[in-house]
């Protein structure tokens, strides 16, 4: 519960700050603030980082920057509600495209589960809007 409240407050703050900052700048500022806070609180030992860890770390960091910048851009362009709806439904879209494009075989149980997820997400989103 605490996570969702914190995440909701962060989204509201991000949505307002997007009026002043570009999505990439805002995400990098967020990362800097989190890095400084965690470093001050936990006092990590950076000496254990090996040079072999760096390529994977940079790739994961680049993917995180790309995905969060895309999410912040979506907040800016289509709004928070529509962006979060797409974010929640995206695993179902991947599942559907795997069958439609890659011709993966589906069984009855997974079809019912996928349809149920879509119906519940749309129902909850509609119910909250009313």
Which tens digit of pLDDT belongs to each residue from 55-90? 999 999 999 999 899 989 988 888 888 787 777 777
* Residues 27 and 74 sit within 8 Å (Cβ to Cβ): no
- What pLDDT score was predicted for residue 128? 60
- Angle 59-71-91 from CA coordinates, rounded to 5°: 80
- What pLDDT score was predicted for residue 83? 81
Residue 10 has what DSSP assignment?
A: H
Does 129 have pLDDT greater than 70?
Answer: no
Please give the biggest Cα pair distance in the chain.
54
Average pLDDT over residues 9-16: 88
* Residues 75 and 83 sit within 8 Å (Cβ to Cβ): yes
Residue 102 has what DSSP assignment?
A: S
- What pLDDT score was predicted for residue 20? 93
- What pLDDT score was predicted for residue 86? 75
**120 vs 16, residue with greater confidence:** 16
Contacts of residue 130, defined as CB under 8 A and 6 or more positions apart, other chains included, come to none
- What pLDDT score was predicted for residue 37? 94
């Amino acid at each position: 519960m605490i996570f969702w409240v914190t995440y909701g407050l962060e989204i509201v703050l991000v949505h307002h700050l997007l009026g002043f900052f570009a999505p990439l700048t805002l995400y990098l500022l967020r990362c800097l603030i989190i890095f400084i806070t965690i470093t001050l609180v936990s006092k990590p030992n950076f000496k254990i980082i090996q040079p072999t860890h760096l390529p994977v770390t940079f790739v994961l960091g680049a993917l995180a920057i790309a995905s969060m910048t895309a999410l912040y851009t979506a907040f800016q362009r289509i709004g928070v509600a529509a962006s979060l709806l797409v974010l929640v439904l995206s695993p179902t879209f991947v599942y559907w495209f795997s069958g439609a494009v890659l011709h993966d075989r589906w069984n009855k149980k997974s079809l019912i589960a996928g349809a149920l997820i879509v119906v519940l997400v749309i129902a909850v989103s509609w119910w909250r809007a009313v």
